Amino acid sequence: MPVALAAYLGCGGGAKDRTPAVSPPLAVSPGSAPVASVTGSTDVPATPVRPSGPDQFHVWLRSDDELYVLPGEGALVYGPNGAAIVTDDAIKVVSRSPLGAYFHKAWMPLSIMRLQVDAVMGSWPDAAYVGKSLMNADCRCGCPGFLDYWSKSHWEPASVRPADATSWRDKMGWGIPHNALNRASLGSTHFVAAAPLGLPRVVVAAQPTCPSGAAENGGRSDTNRAQLLVLREGVVEADRPKMTLARPGEKGSPTKMASIGRVVTSESGEIVVLGAQEGGLVAVEYWSSVTATSKLWTLPKHPKGGGLNYDVFIGIVPSLAMRTKADMWVGGSREGRAYLAHYDGARWTVLDAPPMTAAVGSMGGPPQGRLYLTTVTGELWANDGGLAWTQVKVPEDAKVFQVRAVARNDTRDIWLAGGRVVLRSRAPKAPAVTLTQGPRAHASTDPPRPEQALPGPSDTCAGIFVPLFAVSENASDSYAFPLMQSALRGHGELAKLELGVTDDGRFGAIAPDYALAKAFATFAKAKVKGASPRILCETVSMRPVPFTFDP
């Protein structure tokens, strides 16, 4: 999210401070065996592992609003009041949205939702992806989704479909921000989860936004179904896990998947997804490798009645974690209370009385290590093997709603995020950074967010961007800016710049340092007609345009 378990974002309210205590023995109820026609069910339960993990966490960042984290080699931290990039022990604040012109959907009132982020996923920075969508009343549930990936210093549209495919602008009859997004879209399908598959490869879950049978603007069809994609540096690979999918409207196949909401992976290349079957039952599907035949299980209902709440179309998606192939967990809500199910290599078991009362919001942990979960009320719990869970105290009585684990170079790193803090299992070498002002979402009728001018070199600025002029949204994706090409030819001293068009329609350059940004701004002011260069502290989402600097 390298990252062995990619637990997705959780959210919720306040929590009570409790002293950690070992939970009592738990009553359990056996779950259903795997579906015989899919699995063969020949696994033997493994000897329970007794891993260990940190009991202490340290504050790295604070805010007066919620925070999320995408870790890896360092981390991207973001929230409605600001963002930061963590590299080793250094924290650089991002003054404007690190996600481009899009805003996280949790930050926007529904009445003004237009450009939104659905998921920030993968591993930072070498396999980081953002699932975005363009909301428009004309398309209803058929609004298109887009996938961006982090390319060294900025976000770029991924290539998930052929470049010569019919433009979604033409098919749907209304516009998208710029034509480059065409190759990053599968139409009315949103990208909802991802997990590393041996960096820089990732597996991405793509989910249609229209329920089965809906027909809004090319809604779900035989060719627009839940699917898994394997990408390397933003490009889809040929091999992908083959899901046991139900055809839209297919009856009599309750064991086939109809939707997908979570995906986790292991260091050895195993893939596990959580979704729902055509009849609405929640299920888990497992692959030992990308090309292997899958195993499919239907999760059992709670012994006291009721099953796991799941509705991907309104954002109710349980959490999924895998310590080994014979030690997996699913956590979520059963009518507002905790639901926990465990797989021991032979069958799924639902815990009759989980020690936490509030619903599970997020799960994660390093391979064969301690597993953590958070509740929707902000509590943190840990599991060291078996079925017992112990509550873990966090500093400053923080409320944590998201847990993500990183495994790199024989190290284990646990990140927690949520209400006003980001915590880490590793202690910082400097005081925690506070994010107090930032890119809160605004209505389209509000004035644009002010640019953050960069007057000189800075150790705290995460990205330097020099915009020159605005570009029409109807500009062709292949437009090469011939006047700029001519002006830059022969200026090899500017070759380290990355030039392109941002997703909000500005042409400019990303500079690796302030000196080069200043040189480019001076050059553009003198040599580029109509340019208005400014040196900004800003991280952008950009379609790159290739330039030749040789004479």
Average pLDDT over every residue of 166-175: 51
Domain extent at residue 135: 28-435
Same domain, 281 and 134: yes
How many CB atoms lie under 10 A from the CB of residue 151? 18
Same domain, 90 and 190: yes
Indicate the DSSP class of residue 82.
Answer: E
Same domain, 225 and 123: yes
Same domain, 486 and 427: no
Q: Is residue 3 part of a domain?
A: no
Residues 110-123 have pLDDT tens digits of 444 456 788 899 99
Residues 288-305 have pLDDT tens digits of 999 999 999 999 888 887
* Contacts of 334 by beta carbon, 8 Å cutoff, 6+ apart: 302, 306, 307, 308, 309, 359
Pairing of strands 103-104, 90-94: unpaired
pLDDT for residue 301: 86
Of the residues 418, 435, 452, the one at which a domain ends: 435
Same domain, 244 and 181: yes
Q: What is the count of structural domains for the chain?
A: 2
Residues 175-234 have pLDDT tens digits of 444 555 677 888 788 899 999 998 899 999 998 877 654 444 343 344 457 899 999 999
Q: Is residue 394 part of a domain?
A: yes
Same domain, 403 and 306: yes
CATH number of the domain residue 353 falls in: 2.130.10.10
Same domain, 333 and 293: yes
Q: Is residue 103 part of a domain?
A: yes
Mean pLDDT of the chain: 77
Q: Is residue 454 part of a domain?
A: no
Same domain, 398 and 477: no
Q: Is residue 444 part of a domain?
A: no
Q: Which two tokens stand for residue 337?
A: 């209370």
Q: Is residue 15 part of a domain?
A: no
Is 40 strand, coil or helix?
coil
Same domain, 480 and 423: no
Same domain, 66 and 186: yes
pTM above threshold 0.85 = no
Q: Is residue 232 part of a domain?
A: yes
Q: Which two tokens stand for residue 131?
A: 């699932």
Pairing of strands 103-104, 115-123: parallel
Same domain, 379 and 430: yes
